[in-house]
């Protein structure tokens, strides 16, 4: 007998959508573009490929300049990486601007996490770790156009950027001691054009992680900070590319910055990103060779795409981002201030069923792509030492709050007097994926029969971002949405579970034990002891359940590209460095015109 619950209907709908997408409709939509691009049907395996997955060789030493890389991007309304609150602005900023420090990608291996200079050439801490001094590289060459005219940026630009960040950024509470007494930075200075200095209130183990994290501080030229150009619509900096054209809602185009310090990088002459909201339309453009990197693909569809185009290069990605997370509103009187209610809601979710929906586990395994599913904990599943709450023996007794257990969840809600309570479930409209994931999660919670769920789609920029992502729990109901990349588990814990930072989800005074644990992490310099603190935090958060990590990162995903984008399957970003993926990875990709010609790429 067919199950007609919302959850089952939605799963069937996804399967039907997948089959339709793999069929003639999507291919037919791409036919005109394919013909216009001179595309043909390839029959060969992708570069170095055997079977479905590529086994690519490192061709970095063969790299040469030329070509245009075309890809998609989500809508953005500002290029101002300091003034904007949007993660997408930071992702876009990684091409025209610089961080002080960064992490290089791994080559056919995971990234090591070792920090190297970006705007800074070197740095040092004084003996008591309360003064951090950066030497700014002398060849920080910029956009050749006015108003920079190719000049080298220096410490004055860093200082100007820091001052505006410290005044304007909604994230300044993560680092500024004047905003948050548990944050380390007291003041900044630029004693000369080559030197930039932070004075610290106390030593911090996570400050360097924060400065390498693309979610936070970026160096912009002083012209951007002092009225020389409007950083919302223009981007002039010393990164590997500069913005040549930006039309909100349509595209973002770049040209190579030939003054970039790390020559011969970057390799592509141009990089163009187009805003194509619907996954089916993205996929049609990609299959037509109008886009070079996989777009509109998911674990559900990627094997079918590869079979239609055997020449494409398919590779497995490590877990590189944190799980989308369901959050609770904590206004006074909220039922979610009761730990029992939060635990019950967590136990109402069948995480194995979610893994099937999010990761398409069965289909991939049937196609010969094995999937090891991990349940995301409160530090995500992307770190090698992340605990798997599916395994109570290794995780500990608090793993039970991640288990699917309707009977126990009902007892907890009855004890709290909240059985059959109504929940307003907020969903952000940032992307099609966010909407689909949230509908699945709201549907499974509704089908538990324990609570009544009313879904409400909210405008991302006007409502969801200020209320949910930056509102410190001052709202009612539940909400589901993305969680920003974070450079390390320590930064993740501190930025989300301490109540001082700008990304904190909780009002001051809530979860004092978790706040104390997060603070202790920032001051422990012994690596082994700090790792134990991370693990202890993870286990305690499982009991207190301040939020619900429920998303789709408990297993590997897959990416695909046309074979003329060389190095795409070879390079691996640092797990928490997704915000800077374009500067770290894309700037090292290069175009092979011979392969492009072979497969009909004009």
At 553 the pLDDT is 52
DSSP assigned state of 49: B
At 460 the pLDDT is 84
Q: Residue ranges per domain, the chain?
A: 80-239, 325-549
**Contact 215/84 with Cβ under 8 angstroms?**
no
SS3 for 406?
helix
pLDDT tens string 318-352? 776 666 788 999 999 999 999 999 999 999 999 88
422-428/557-561 β-pairing: unpaired
Topology of the domain covering 325-549: Dipeptide-binding Protein; domain 3 (3.10.105)
SS3 for 162?
helix
Q: How far is the first Cα of the chain from the last one, in angstroms, to the nearest whole number?
A: 52
Q: How far is CA 357 from the centre of its chain?
A: 20
Rounded CA-CA distance 257/243 in Å is: 10
pLDDT tens string 540-568? 999 999 999 885 555 677 899 999 999 99
For the beta carbon of residue 52, count every other beta carbon within 10 angstroms. Answer: 20
DSSP assigned state of 436: H
**Contact 494/517 with Cβ under 8 angstroms?**
no
Q: How many C-alpha atoms does 301 have within 13 Å on its Cβ side?
A: 24
Could you give the angle at the alpha carbon of 205 between the alpha carbons of 201 and 206, nearest 5°? 95
At 44 the pLDDT is 38
Q: How far is CA 349 from the centre of its chain?
A: 24
Cis amide bond preceding 53, omega within 30: no
Residue ranges of the chain whose pLDDT lies below 70: 1-50, 320-323, 551-555
Most distant pair of Cα atoms in the chain: their distance? 76
Q: How far is CA 273 from the centre of its chain?
A: 17
Could you give the angle at the alpha carbon of 546 between the alpha carbons of 540 and 548, nearest 5°? 100
CATH assignment of 80-239?
A: 3.90.76.10
Rounded CA-CA distance 568/553 in Å is: 21
251-256/68-73 β-pairing: unpaired
Element (H, E) at 539: helix 527-544
């Amino acid at each position: 007998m067919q199950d007609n619950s919302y959850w089952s209907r939605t799963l069937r709908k996804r399967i039907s959508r997948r089959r339709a997408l793999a069929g003639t409709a999507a291919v037919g939509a791409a036919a005109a573009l394919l013909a216009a691009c001179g595309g043909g049907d390839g029959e060969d395996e992708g570069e170095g490929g055997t079977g479905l997955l590529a086994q690519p060789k490192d061709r970095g030493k063969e790299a040469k300049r030329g070509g245009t890389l075309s890809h998609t991007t989500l809508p953005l309304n500002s290029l101002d990486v300091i003034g904007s609150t949007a993660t997408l602005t930071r992702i876009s900023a990684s091409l025209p601007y610089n961080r002080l420090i960064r992490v290089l990608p791994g080559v056919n291996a995971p990234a090591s996490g070792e920090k190297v200079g970006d705007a800074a050439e070197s740095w040092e801490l004084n003996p008591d770790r309360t003064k951090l001094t950066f030497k700014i590289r002398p060849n920080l060459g910029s956009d050749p156009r006015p108003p920079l005219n190719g000049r080298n940026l220096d410490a004055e630009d860093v200082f100007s950027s820091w001052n505006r960040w410290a005044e304007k950024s909604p994230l300044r509470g993560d680092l500024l001691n004047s905003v948050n007494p548990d944050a380390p930075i007291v003041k900044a200075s630029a004693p000369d054009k080559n030197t930039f200095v932070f004075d610290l209130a106390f030593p911090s183990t996570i400050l360097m992680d924060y400065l390498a994290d693309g979610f936070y501080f970026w160096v912009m030229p002083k012209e951007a900070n002092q009225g020389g150009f409007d950083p919302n619509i223009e981007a002039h900096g010393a990164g590997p590319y500069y913005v040549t054209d930006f039309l909100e809602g349509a595209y973002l185009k770049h040209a190579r910055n030939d003054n970039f310090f790390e020559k011969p990088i970057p390799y592509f002459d141009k990089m163009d990103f187009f805003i194509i909201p619907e996954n089916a339309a993205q996929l049609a453009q990609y299959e037509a060779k109008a886009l070079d990197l996989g777009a509109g693909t998911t674990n559900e569809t990627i094997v079918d795409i590869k079979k239609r185009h055997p020449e494409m290069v398919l590779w497995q990605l490590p877990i590189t981002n944190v799980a989308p997370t369901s959050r609770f509103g904590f206004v006074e009187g909220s039922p979610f201030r009761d730990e029992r209610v939060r635990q019950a809601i967590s136990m109402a979710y069948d995480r194995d069923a979610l893994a099937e929906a999010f990761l398409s586990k069965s289909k991939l395994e049937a196609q010969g792509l094995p999937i090891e599913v991990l349940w995301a904990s409160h530090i995500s599943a992307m770190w090698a030492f992340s605990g798997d709450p599916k395994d109570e023996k290794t995780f500990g007794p608090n793993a039970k709050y991640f288990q699917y257990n309707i009977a126990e969840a009902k007892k907890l809600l009855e004890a709290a007097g909240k059985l059959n309570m109504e929940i307003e479930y907020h969903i952000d409209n940032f992307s099609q994926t966010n909407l689909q994931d949230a509908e699945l999660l709201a549907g499974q919670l509704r089908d538990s029969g324990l609570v009544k769920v009313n879904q409400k789609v909210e405008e991302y920029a006007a409502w969801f971002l200020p209320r949910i992502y930056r509102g410190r729990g001052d709202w009612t109901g539940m909400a589901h949405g993305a969680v920003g990349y974070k450079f390390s588990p320590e930064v993740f814990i501190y930025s989300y579970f301490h109540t001082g930072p700008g990304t904190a989800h909780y009002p001051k005074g809530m979860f004092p034990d978790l706040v104390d644990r997060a603070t202790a992490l920032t001051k422990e310099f012994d690596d082994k002891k700090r790792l134990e603190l991370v693990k202890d935090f993870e286990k305690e958060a499982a009991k207190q359940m301040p939020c619900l990590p429920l998303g789709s990162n408990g297993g590997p995903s897959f990416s695909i590209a046309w074979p003329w984008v060389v190095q795409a399957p070879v390079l691996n970003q640092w797990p928490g460095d997704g915000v800077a993926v374009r500067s770290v990875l894309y700037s090292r990709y290069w175009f092979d015109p011979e392969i492009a010609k072979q497969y009909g790429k004009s």
